[in-house]
Amino acid sequence: MKNKKLEEYGSYLLIILGALMASFSVICILIPNGAIDYGTAGIAIIVSQLTGFNLSLCVFVIFAPFVIAGFLILGVKFGIKATVGSLFYTVGLEIFEKVHFELNTEHFLAVAFGGALLGFGLALILRFGGCIDGSEIFANIIVNAISRKTGRNYSMTYILLAFNACVYLAAFLLINQDAALLSLLVYVVATSIINSVTDHFDAVKQVTIITKDPHAIIADIKEQLNKTCTMMDSYGAIAGENKTLICYISYFELQKMKEIISKNAGSFSTVSTIDEILR
């Protein structure tokens, strides 16, 4: 129990570190070199540059509805971590605006480095169960709604691509062409880093659970995640007869799944990334 508490506190510290890294990258590297962040943070930066409103205030106003939606749809634990990450990201923006930092190099190199730093910060947040970008929460909500209606699992990739395409089109039309193209470079570099750390967070995840008592786990998965499982007979060389459960979920549902598995002791589980599901 003590180790679990330390692990939980550690996850919050890493989420805070990731949020501060991301805000430093945006304020001290990307914006001074003519680029912007992507997702809802990118929308906030565009609004701030067009209206002259304080960037931290724009970020807070735009993030808030998505964080609330995260609480309601993805659970309290996720909502708390998303709130912590978003809060420290917003505070970081305010703090780093007062820091005099200059990266004396070409815009292309500065933006590539800023994108990598941003990606690593966001990857830490995602890796430890948080989120500071509303586009990811939005995509997860859409995917869940479609999955519940059709009974099939879908990746968030195309929704995220469409969302960010709209952000870059807005930057292209409302700011300038260079900002849009440099920001596209930020997206490519940052998402490459995120995918390498989180193993493609936007893809469908397959959770395989081996247990002797599957019914309680199945009931919890149905109640808390509104998902079903495939159940198969299996046999362990030492444990003997077991049941193997296979369930498909999104990256943001992993936190709830971990809680369900830890609640039902005596099981063994693995998580893998599914690139494509054939119908």
For the chain, give every residue range classified as CATH 3.30.70.120. 204-274
Mean pLDDT of the chain: 87
Q: Which of 15-19, 64-68, 127-131, 200-204 has the highest mean pLDDT?
A: 15-19
Predicted pLDDT of residue 251: 84
Tell me the two tokens of residue 75: 């659970």
Tell me the C-alpha distance between 26 and 4, whole Å. 33
CA-CA distance, 153 to 227, in Å (whole number)?
10
Residue 132 pLDDT > 80: yes
Between 279 and 33, name the one with better pLDDT. Answer: 33
> Is there a contact between 131 and 78 (Cβ–Cβ < 8 Å)?
yes
Q: How confident is the model at residue 1 (pLDDT cuts 50, 70, 90)?
A: low
The pLDDT value recorded for residue 203 is 82
Neighbour count for residue 199 (Cβ, 10 Å): 14
Is 70 exceeded by the pLDDT of residue 192? yes
- Which pLDDT band, with edges at 50, 70 and 90, does 129 fall under? confident
What number is the average pLDDT over the span 251-277? Answer: 84
Residue 253 in this model has a pLDDT that exceeds 80: yes
More confident position, 46 or 134 = 46
Q: Between 272 and 147, name the one with better pLDDT.
A: 272
* Residue pLDDT, tens place only, 221-232: 988 888 888 999
What is the pLDDT, as a whole number, of residue 202? Answer: 79
Which option is the CATH number for 204-274: 3.40.640.10, 3.30.70.2740, 3.30.70.120, 3.40.1180.10? 3.30.70.120
**Per-residue confidence (pLDDT) for residue 74, from 0 to 100:** 78
3-state secondary structure 144-184: HHHHHHHCCCCCCHHHHHHHHHHHHHHHHHHCCHHHHHHHH
Contacts of 254 (CB under 8 A, 6+ apart): 129, 205, 207, 271
Residues forming beta bridges with residue 245, ordered by sequence position:
209, 231
Which of 29-33, 134-138, 161-165, 181-185 is predicted least confidently? 134-138
Radius of gyration of the chain measured on its C-alpha atoms: 20
Read off the amino acid at residue 35: A
